[in-house]
């Protein structure tokens, strides 16, 4: 035999054999088609497999969980607050046959997920209140700074009836039946980001600023009030101290005066005439001086001898 002929036979045989085998990676699953028509439901077992060469064709799909990251949407909540909402989802190709028939590529799957999840998200969000989207539970929040009572009451009035994770679950359960027919299983949907639209955000900033300013003003006036209180206390104590001292002093003085009067009276009462005489003489000494002109009668005790001397 001609060795060239052998060579051709070997090569052809090799190609056929190679084509009969296929490898499924641990992260993959496959669909076998025969003349374009799917055979069976798909194979998920990793390893080496055999097929009819050339007649059967292998289509590979991801077996792992895949991600879908939505584009942020602007949605009004049921209490008319405009927010940006960004969701993400995990999904799997759980029915490769359906997936092959309806969707084929991951890009196409993403566009289906976009359509369905965007729609359900919009429906669910617009029928819920902002507080339910932001908060998950009615956990009791605490506040460091003394808010106005009214502000606190307003915050406490906002009661969570649904909650964030329930909203995410609702979006998932509404989306799941719609996406199932594409051979896709939604593992979960989560709300990644919630943000105010710009104009609302500015307003919230303004509100936060005015809230803080109120607190600051309160601190200041509390300081002033406290200071006034202290100064008032000081004034009162001052008055108390001063008046008490005055009272005590006056009492002491009064007692002394009374005692003095008593002492004088006791002494002078022994001979009021003599007291009068003595005191009058003393008074002369003190009241008569060089500014006085004295007119005296010749019959006065002093000058009476100028007139005559009694014998």
Contacts (CB under 8 A) with other proteins, residues 259-288: 259-261, 263-264, 266-268, 270-271, 274-275, 277-278, 281, 284-285, 288
Task: Looking at residues 2 to 31 of the shown chain, list those that interact with other proteins (rule: CB under 8 A).
Answer: 3, 6, 23-28
- What is the DSSP-derived secondary structure letter of residue 71? P
Given candidates 40, 52, 198, 253, which one binds other proteins under the rule CB under 8 A?
253
Please report whether residue 257 would count as binding other proteins according to CB under 8 A.
yes
Cβ proximity to other proteins: between 36 and 293 the closer is 293
Count the Cβ atoms, other than its own, within 10 Å of residue 224: 10
Please report whether residue 39 would count as binding other proteins according to CB under 8 A.
no
Please report whether residue 79 would count as binding other proteins according to CB under 8 A.
no
Task: Looking at residues 174 to 203 of the shown chain, list those that interact with other proteins (rule: CB under 8 A).
Answer: 187-188, 190-196, 201
Alpha-carbon distance of 39 to 104, in angstroms, equals: 16
C-alpha distances out from residue 275 to 17, 26, 258, 265, 267, Å: 159, 137, 20, 11, 9
**Least CB distance to other proteins at residue 38 (A):** 21
Please report whether residue 250 would count as binding other proteins according to CB under 8 A.
yes
Q: Are 120 and 171 in contact (CB under 8 A)?
A: yes
Reading the block at residue 117, the tokens are: 């999840």
Cβ proximity to other proteins: between 294 and 311 the closer is 294
Angle at the Cα of 259 from the Cα atoms of 255 and 264, rounded to 5 degrees: 150
Please report whether residue 169 would count as binding other proteins according to CB under 8 A.
no
Cβ neighbours of residue 152 under 8 Å, at least 6 residues apart? 143
Please report whether residue 237 would count as binding other proteins according to CB under 8 A.
yes
């Amino acid at each position: 035999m001609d060795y060239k002929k052998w060579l051709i036979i070997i090569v052809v045989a090799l190609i056929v054999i190679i084509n009969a085998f296929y490898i499924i990676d641990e992260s993959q699953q496959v669909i076998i088609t025969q003349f374009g028509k799917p055979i069976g439901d798909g194979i998920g077992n990793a390893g080496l497999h055999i097929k009819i060469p050339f007649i059967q064709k292998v289509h590979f799909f991801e077996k792992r969980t895949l991600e879908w990251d939505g584009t942020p949407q602007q949605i009004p909540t049921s209490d008319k607050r405009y927010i940006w909402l960004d969701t993400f989802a995990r999904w799997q190709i759980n029915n490769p046959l359906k997936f092959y028939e309806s969707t084929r590529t991951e890009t196409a799957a993403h566009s289906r997920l976009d359509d369905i999840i965007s729609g359900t998200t919009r429906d669910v969000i617009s029928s819920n209140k902002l507080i339910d989207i932001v908060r998950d539970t009615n956990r009791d929040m605490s506040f460091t700074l003394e808010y106005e009572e009214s502000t606190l009451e307003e915050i406490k009035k906002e009661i969570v009836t649904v909650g964030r994770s329930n909203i995410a679950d609702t979006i998932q359960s509404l989306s799941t039946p719609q996406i199932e027919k594409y051979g896709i299983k939604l593992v979960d949907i989560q709300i990644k980001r919630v943000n105010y639209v710009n104009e609302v955000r500015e307003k919230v900033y303004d509100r936060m600023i005015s809230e803080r300013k109120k607190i600051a003003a309160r601190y200041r006036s509390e300081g002033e009030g406290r200071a006034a209180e202290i100064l008032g206390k000081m004034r009162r104590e001052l008055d108390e101290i001063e008046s008490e001292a005055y009272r005590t002093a006056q009492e002491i003085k009064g007692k002394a005066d009374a005692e003095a009067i008593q002492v004088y009276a006791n002494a002078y009462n022994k001979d009021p005439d003599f007291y009068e005489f003595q005191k009058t003489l003393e008074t002369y000494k003190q009241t008569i001086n060089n500014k006085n002109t004295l007119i005296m009668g010749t019959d006065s005790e002093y000058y009476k001898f100028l007139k005559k001397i009694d014998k």
